[in-house]
Structure 1
Amino acid sequence: MDIEPLPGMKINGHEMDHRFLETLRVIGETFSQRKAARILGVTPQVLNRRVLRAESLLGVKLVKSSGAGSELTPEGMEILRTYLRQLKILSGSGRLMVAAGYVSSNLAEVLIDRSGVEASLFSCCDDDIFQLAERSMLDIIFLDDPLQAYQRDLDFVPVAYDHLVLVGGDAATMRELDGSSFVGVEGSVQRLAWEVLSDAGISFEVVREVRSPYHAHRIVSNDRKLMTFLSASQFSGPEILKNETRHVISAVVCRESEGVEKFMEFIMGDGQEAVLEAGFEPLH
């Protein structure tokens, strides 16, 4: 089934459907309202009414006509450029668009390299990933914390395991952490460590929160009074909460395509060797 999505747009509070946007596109290509009408399968009068109605609603001139033909005004070109960008996003470029959490982006990078797929990779926190996904820009997302997928009721695929290590301290037991001060990473799987310590009756305080685990690592490296828990795949330290903080690194498919299907097949098969290479624990 050949499905071609054609988006509408809201401009200055007014809904503009794909028929008007396609009218601008074809006029911009042909420099002729008469030719544009023929291509779109409407009469020149219908096409002209579309343009005039939009100009009246928006209060600007969109098409300029002369004896040499018709061309889009700067305002018309601005609308057309935005429309063409949306078409490109919806149709896909052949290059996979992948976003991953700060930790799982290291895994995604190795998987992309070993699979040979053409892909662009964006690294950000899990919350920002969903902001990108809502704009229909992504094919696949990798999440550091599986809770993000659970909370949004998403179908996710486990691709690897990870756990947390203590960074900035050398405690051998949880009891040695009593009274400690920590640096937290917002919206991260650190929540597992805090839950375990709280349940064990350990007194501790998260004195500062940052967005990136690498920022947290820099802070504790420069302040010997502070500690943090970070992913074992990327950092080293005592594994006093290894079993309690073992968690899944997951992938969520945002947009189905042949390229996405092949990439996911690689991840679940031969790609598990790359999982180990990236410092994570394979599924099997």
Structure 2
Amino acid sequence: MEFESKGLISLEINGEVYGYRLYESLDSLSKTKSQRRSAKELNISHTVFNRRILKAEEKLGFKLTKKVGNGTALTQEGLDLLEEFKKYAIQIEKTSTINIVGGHISTGLLESIDLPFKTNIYSSNDEDAFELAKRGVVDLLTLDDPLIAFERDINFYPIAYDYLVLVSSPNSKKIETISDLENLDFVSVSGSAQRLAWDSLRHYDIHVNIKESVSSQFDAYKLVRDSKNLHTFLNASYFKGNELLKFDTQHVISLVKVNEDKTEVNDFIKYLTNEEGQKTIEKQGFTPM
């Protein structure tokens, strides 16, 4: 098996994430039995190759390589680690079904449209979805907010625009201006695009009180709906509300390749970004790119 993917495929061991570079090094060494030949094959210096192995051994607490005559071979632990990575790679490559994990809004969009692909879609918040994607057990990551990708310089593919609306309890006072938000009680949603609303309120020097924090926009909506005087900011594609901060909170719904070599993933992204896919997205209440 060739280690050509430059995506997020990795294994997590005792809280440490080991990426594809370590595994392509182990794979090469298992064949060449020479660090120098493997370094040349990977187009890196022998020093860099050796440091990569030593750094991993220090974190893992066991040896990955051993001297054999004039060459270098993998220890049994090194072979076991390489085998674990191959299992993950095989798991991703062996089926045409696209395994997707992502934020509640972006996965909800994908679930609501009739896609010409076989998919398994798992919904979470952006932060938890990203942690799962780092393990390499899915093919595609969807983001309700591109912040995670921006912070880590990860390439992403925009598929739609969305913005936030103010949703208030049925009997709360009418909000007409931004200043009317001063000292009101809010429900926050972790791992969502709400950061744009909070940043905007700070910009306008408006103070609000965060009374509850939930992980789903739908949970936030229920809390606000059933309360006497609570408010929240939710995605306009799914909820109706006051467009007070529409232009301040516009953001991109996007996709990140996890399994870069899977043909179906590339075809999936092409479909969503072409004219037919964009029309389908627009019908779901999102603004096309």
Structure 1 residue aligned with 2:110: 108
Given the alignment, which residue of 268, 275, 278 partners 1:263?
A: 268
Greater Rg, structure 1 or structure 2? 1
User: In structure 2, what is the Cα distance between the partners aligned to 1:261 and 1:10?
Assistant: 26
Structure 2 residue aligned with 1:142: 142
Structure 1 residue aligned with 2:88: 86
Contact 1:100 1:108 in 2 (8 A): no
Deviations 1:114-153 (Å, cap 9, x if unpaired)? 3x10111010011111121121112111101111110111
Aligned residues: percent identity? Answer: 35
TM-score (norm 2): 0.68
Q: 5 Å matches for 1:1-284? A: 3=2, 86=88, 88-111=90-113, 113-114=114-115, 116-169=116-169, 170-256=174-260, 257-269=262-274, 270-283=276-289
Aligned residues: 229
User: In structure 1, what is the Cα distance between the partners aligned to 2:204 and 2:184?
Assistant: 14
User: In structure 2, what is the Cα distance between the partners aligned to 1:124 and 1:179?
Assistant: 30
Unaligned runs of 5+ in 2: 15-25, 28-74, 78-82
Q: SS at the partner of 1:252?
A: strand
Query: Given the superposition, is the C-alpha separation of residues 198 and 11 from structure 1 closer, same or farther in structure 2, using an over 3 Å criterion?
Result: closer
Query: Given the superposition, is the C-alpha separation of residues 189 and 259 from structure 1 closer, same or farther in structure 2, using an over 3 Å criterion?
Result: same
Tell me by how many angstroms 1:194 deviates: 1.0
User: In structure 1, what is the Cα distance between the partners aligned to 2:271 and 2:183?
Assistant: 46
Deviations 1:225-273 (Å, cap 9, x if unpaired)? 1100000001011111111111111111111221111111111111001
Contact 1:213 1:230 in 2 (8 A): yes
Stretch of structure 1 that moved more, 261-270 or 90-99 = 90-99
User: In structure 2, what is the Cα distance between the partners aligned to 1:3 and 1:184?
Assistant: 45
User: In structure 1, what is the Cα distance between the partners aligned to 2:145 and 2:13?
Assistant: 37
Q: SS at the partner of 2:104?
A: coil
Q: Which runs of 4+ in 1 moved over 2 A?
A: 2-5, 9-12, 81-88
Query: Given the superposition, is the C-alpha separation of residues 10 and 219 from structure 1 closer, same or farther in structure 2, using an over 3 Å criterion?
Result: closer
Query: Given the superposition, is the C-alpha separation of residues 278 and 135 from structure 1 closer, same or farther in structure 2, using an over 3 Å criterion?
Result: same
Query: Given the superposition, is the C-alpha separation of residues 134 and 11 from structure 1 closer, same or farther in structure 2, using an over 3 Å criterion?
Result: closer
User: In structure 1, what is the Cα distance between the partners aligned to 2:132 and 2:195?
Assistant: 24
Deviations 1:185-213 (Å, cap 9, x if unpaired)? 11221111111112112221112211111
User: In structure 2, what is the Cα distance between the partners aligned to 1:227 and 1:98?
Assistant: 31
Structural RMSD (CA): 3.6
Structure 2 residue aligned with 1:69: none
